[in-house]
Amino acid sequence: MHRLLHMFELAWNVTEPAQPMAMVGESQMDRMHGRSALLAAKLPPEDTLSLYVNCATRVAGRPARLVLTPVPEILSSAFVERASEQLPWFAAVLLVLAAITSLVSSERRRRLGLTKFLLGYLCIAALPLFGVIVLRSALREGLEQAGHGWWAALWLSLFWMVTFIVVAQWVVRRMPPTRGWLRDYRQAGRDIWRDRLARWFGIRSRD
């Protein structure tokens, strides 16, 4: 521990004139502290949940203190932070895709009405997009924060993303009211294509 503190002191003396940490944002600083806590947690602690390592160096005139946070808590904080960063992108992509689909599928929108059209489209597109944009990225960040390697975090996040999408889509197809919205949306599409094919091939409707 004395050698580690000596290394910290040398690094501080070298970098203090340039003050490179002044350019690091708060979120990046939190991630760096989390990774440092994970490394320190590998030392044999007296109490994993409440061990504090007090350093002899000072940051901004105050003694620096490293808190060893439990891995589940680190995973949760990293997951929430990354998910909050990705949610605006998810909302923007979903909004753009809904607008494009509404313009392309104008006949389906006319038959269902705008509200039922949007609800049916959300039942199809919202969960997969959420899994790809938000859940996968947040899981990978949390797994890396918890000490997993890049490849392990990638494959584990992909596995849980696919599991989430499959299970969530199964629930949407079988639970009301989403089951009715999805059924009406798909039925409108089938009716449109049936009328379109009948018009192309000159088939008259029996009605």
Q: What's the domain count of the chain?
A: 2
Q: Do 174 and 94 have their domain in common?
A: yes
Mean pLDDT (the chain) is 77
Does residue 206 lie in a domain region? Answer: no
Q: Do 24 and 100 have their domain in common?
A: no
| Last residue in a domain, options 69, 95, 113 | 69
Number of neighbours of residue 201 by Cβ within 10 angstroms: 7
CA distance 70 to 147: 12
Global pTM value: 0.59
Domain that holds residue 32: 2-69
| Last residue in a domain, options 24, 39, 69 | 69
Q: Do 100 and 145 have their domain in common?
A: yes
CA distance 132 to 116: 25
Q: Do 60 and 9 have their domain in common?
A: yes
AA letter at 184: D
Q: Do 79 and 136 have their domain in common?
A: yes
142-185 residue pLDDT tens: 888 877 788 888 898 899 999 999 999 999 999 989 999 999 99
Q: Do 118 and 146 have their domain in common?
A: yes
Number of neighbours of residue 78 by Cβ within 10 angstroms: 22
Does residue 174 lie in a domain region? Answer: yes
Does residue 207 lie in a domain region? Answer: no
Distance of CA 37 to the CA centre of its chain: 23
Do the Cβ atoms of 192 and 107 come closer than 8 Å?
Answer: yes
Residue 67: helix, strand or coil by DSSP?
Answer: strand
DSSP code string of 47-58: -TTS-EEEEEEE
Do the Cβ atoms of 74 and 34 come closer than 8 Å?
Answer: yes
| Last residue in a domain, options 24, 51, 69 | 69
The more confident residue out of 61 and 114 is: 114
pLDDT above 90 (res 99): yes
Please list, residue by residue across 3-34, b when 16 or more beta carbons sit within 10 angstroms of its beta carbon and e when fewer do.
eeeeeeeeeeeeeeeeeeeeeeeeeeeebeeb
Q: Do 54 and 81 have their domain in common?
A: no
Strands (E), the chain: 52-59, 62-67
Of the pLDDT bands very low, low, confident and very high (cuts 50, 70, 90), residue 15 is low
Q: Do 83 and 63 have their domain in common?
A: no
